[in-house]
Amino acid sequence: MNLTDFLQSLEASHLARLYDHQWTVQAVFRSLPPVAKQYALRLLFVDPAEHVPAVVFDSWIKPEHRSKHDSAKANLTKLQVLIYSERSGSPGYRLHPKFQALLKLAVCGGGTIHATVPADVVPHIPSRSALNAHAEGQWEAMLLYLVGTRGSPPDIQTGLEVEPLPFDELFRGAGLVVSNRSSARSHISDSGFQFLLLDTSSQVWVAISEYISQAEKTMGVNMSEVVSFLLELAFRPMTHPGHMRDLNHGQSRVAAHMTQLGIMMMFKAGTSIMYCPTPLARCLCNSSTAGVGGSQQQGFIVVETNYKLYGYVTSAIQLAILELFTRRECRLPNLFVGSINRDSIANALSCGITAEQIISYLQAHSHPKINHRVPIVPEVVADQIRLWEADMLRVKTLPSVLYDEFPSRYVFTEATSYAQQKGVYLWDDGKSKLIAKLEGDQEMRTRIKELRGR
């Protein structure tokens, strides 16, 4: 999941409001696919009162790459960035006026966050490593709470009087947990396990998009304002903190929640409270998934051809994830040794994780020492994991009904052919037993009664 997916999920009326804020505009522009981005740039300096004739617009692509053109056009239209207009009878295209104005401002170097930081604040700005530690700590605490190894959600460390983020509702809304009637606490769901294997930037977006939709419902905050605040955070340099007092009530609530998630960090400078983004905030406006998180996410997994897995891990959540699909053999202070075998994979598959997800997780988190290997996960291991998955899918269960003790051969054959006709036939023993799908039971019963009556 990323910004594009989030935007695609929004309704049209919501989208239009987003372009009131320059950070949203910039982030949307960055998230566009390459050809669409070029079109936006080409239309950028066209006079808002004019438009580019459709003929010219359509001539921008080579005829053999027509599909790219159409998809870019559809993409831009869906985001309401591109607007179809007709002027004095000729069709043409132009950009959304607000989008155009704000993007122009950005391209011409206006509206950046370059307010000079007051000298008395500078010594208080948290270092990069402190920001990293905060982001990792909070995010991991959230994941551990999701898995259930941690009893309480991550703390709120702001000193502001704001009700903490309702993590349980957030998880439930995103479908990461399912409520269990027998116990008070809900359990992690299949999609929750899949969520754990995602890269951090996708995880952030899953959580944030759910947060945004809940914020509008429960907190009564304007969605476009939340989005623009979050994206401003994403664009804000880590060395340029902002003042909490500049935020309005709704924004400061969001800010407190983001601190809890580890997307931003608050600190005191003298008497005033300041905030600055953590590396996690960068995930919000980055459209490409590769290499997101940068220094924050160092690979740590080495997979060998003998199905051994070495993970240089210290964090509890990474350990928990590895144990989802490996059997622990040995645990040293900084090293986890596990083996991948049929049982461990079957275990993971039964949690709803797919083989592809396991393999891509192993690839995404490979140790820098083995990064040059092609493929990173040995083929024999990857293929075997896929085979084990196929093995699990070999047997399919269907709710069905067994019909037995037919009065005569005639009734049996008639009933069998009727089941085949209706497409509910599953199996018969050729003599007296017939199995059909459950959904056809009613029809089968009436048919058999009819046959018996004859």
Partner 1 sequence: MLPSSMMLQRLKELNRKHPNRGKGGEPLAPALSGALSRALCFLHKASKTRLSRNSRPRILCFMVSPDQPAEYVSVMNAIFSAQRSNVSIDACYMGKESSSFLQQAAHLTGGTYMKPELQSALLQYLNMAFAADTATRGFLTENAGQAVNFKASCFCHRKPIDLGFVCSVCLAVFCQNVKECQICGTHFMPLLTKTQKRDEGATAAQGSALPSK
Q: Does 437 participate in binding partner 1 (rule CB under 8 A)? A: no
Instruction: Compute how many other C-beta atoms are within 10 angstroms of the C-beta atom of residue 27.
Output: 24
Residue of the chain from 4, 14, 20, 38 that contacts partner 1 (CB under 8 A):
38
Least distance in Å: CB of 98 to partner 1? Answer: 18
Query: What does the chain come to in residues?
Result: 454
Site map (CB under 8 A) of partner 1, residues 88-107, x = contact: ----------------x--x
The H or E element that residue 454 is part of is: none
Q: What gap in Å lies between CA 142 and CA 317, rounded to an integer?
A: 10
Site map (CB under 8 A) of partner 1, residues 249-288, x = contact: ----------------------------------------
Residue 141's identity, in one-letter code, is A
Least distance in Å: CB of 10 to partner 1? Answer: 26
Nearest alpha carbon to residue 233 among 219, 247, 221:
247
Residue closer to partner 1 (CB basis): 34 or 151: 34
Cis, peptide link before residue 375, omega less than 30° from 0: yes
Residue of the chain from 5, 48, 50, 65 that contacts partner 1 (CB under 8 A):
65
Q: Does 56 participate in binding partner 1 (rule CB under 8 A)? A: no
Q: What gap in Å lies between CA 117 and CA 359, rounded to an integer?
A: 45
CB 7 within 8 A of CB 29: no
Q: Does 68 participate in binding partner 1 (rule CB under 8 A)? A: yes
Query: Which 104-143 residues touch partner 1, going by CB under 8 A?
Result: 104, 107-108
Q: Where are the alpha helices (DSSP H) in 148-199?
A: 167-173, 190-197
Q: What gap in Å lies between CA 166 and CA 187, rounded to an integer?
A: 16
Least distance in Å: CB of 291 to partner 1? Answer: 8
Query: Which 285-344 residues touch partner 1, going by CB under 8 A?
Result: 290
Q: Does 42 participate in binding partner 1 (rule CB under 8 A)? A: yes
Q: Does 84 participate in binding partner 1 (rule CB under 8 A)? A: no
Query: Roughly what angle, to the nearest 10 degrees, separates helices 249-261 and 223-235?
Result: 50
Q: If binding means CB under 8 A, how many residues of this protein chain bind partner 1?
A: 18
Which residues lie near partner 1 (CB under 8 A)?
34-35, 38, 41-42, 44-45, 59-62, 65, 68-69, 104, 107-108, 290
